[in-house]
Structure 1
Amino acid sequence: MPWIETVPFEEATGKLRKLYDRVAGPEGNVDNIMMVHGLRPHSMEGHMALYKNVLHHTGNTLPKWVLEMLGVWVSALNGCAYCVEHHFAGLTRLMQDDDRAAAIRAAIEARDVEALPVREAERAAMVYAHKLTERPAAMEINDVWALKDAGLSDGEILEINQVVAYFAYANRTVLGLGCSTEGDVLGLSPGNSEDPQDWGHR
C-alpha cells in the first residue's frame, strides 16, 4: 500500500473512473503508479499524457525497446525498483530475446555501459542519460555532440532527453509516495502508438 490514500477501481466514480477505464489492462488492472493519483485525477491525466507521448508515440523513431532500456537505466540510477521491474518486463517483451535482455539488465546492475550488448549510438545514449540523471547541472554542449558523433539525429536526441526527464518524474512519484508493485501486472504498456488518446495497457 502507498503512503497516501488511493481510490480502488471498484469505488471510483466520475472522471476518475473514466481515467481508470482508459488506463486499465486486459483484466481491469490499473498500475499502482496511476492509482496513486486517485485523489487528484487531473494529475493522473497529465502523467498519462506525458508517458504515452514520450514512450509510446508513432512520432518517435528510436525503437521502443531502446526507450525502455533508457527508462530501466534511469530508474536503476535513481533507486526506483518499481520502475525497473515494470520497464524491464516491458523491455523483455519488446525485444523478444530473453538472453539479450538479461545481459542488458546485468550490465545496468553492474553500472557497466561498455558491457551492454547494443550499438555504439545506444551506448552513447546511456552515457548521456547517466550524466543527466546524476549531474544535470554539469551538462554541456559536448554531451549532445557526443550523441551526434554516435550517429543520432537531433530529433532522436530530443527523444532520449525526454525519456530521461520523464523517468525523473515517474521515479520521484513512486519513491515519494511509497508505491509498490503489489497487485500490478508487470510489462504492460499502451500498445496503440498510432492513437495518442488510447491509453489502454496491453
Structure 2
Amino acid sequence: MSTVECEQQESGWGILEELPGDPMIWVLIFSELVAFGLFLGAFSVSRAIHPTLFAAGQSALDSNLAGLNTVVLVTSGWAAAKATKAARAGERPVARYWIFGAMALGGLFIAIKIAEYAEEIGRGVGLETSPFFTLYFLLTGFHLLHVGLGIVILAVVCRRAGISGVETATAFWHMVDLVWIVMFPILYLVK
C-alpha cells in the first residue's frame, strides 16, 4: 500500500480530502443535492401526470424576474470564486471584499424572490392553489432557505478569510448556484 493510500485510509475521508474546503461540507452538499433531486423528481413526475395544470401554473410565473435572479446568483458565485482565489493568494482583505460582494448579491437574490412571491400572493396564488404551486413554493422556499444559510456561512468565514474557510463557504455557495441553475429551467422554461 502506498503512503498516500495509507494516509487516506487513516483519515477515513478518502476522495473527500481531494475536494476544496472541509470534508464535512461535502457530506452536507451531497445530502442536499439528493434532497433537491428528490424534490425536482417529484415535480417532474407530477408535471407528467398533470401537464395542463402545470402548464397553467408555469404561465403564471414571472420568468423575467427568475431570469434576473439567475444572473444575480451566478454573479454571486463568480464573486465567491474570486474570494477563493484571493484567499489562496494570501490576500485576505481582497477575499473579504469578494465575500461581501457574494453576500450582497445573495441578499439581492432574496429580495427579488420575495418580490416575486409578493406578486404571486397578491394575485391569490398560494401553496394550496394547485399541485404545481405547492411544489413550486416548496422547492423555491427550500432553495431560498439555502441562500440565507449560504449568506450566514459566508459571513462567518469573512472575518478571518482563511483558505479553508473560504473554500468551504464557496463550495456550499456553488451548490446553491448549481441547484438554482437546474431549478430555473425546470420550473420556469421547460414546457
Instruction: Please say whether Structure 1 and Structure 2 have the same fold, judged by a TM-score greater than 0.5.
Output: no
Pair member with larger Rg: 2
Higher helix share: 2
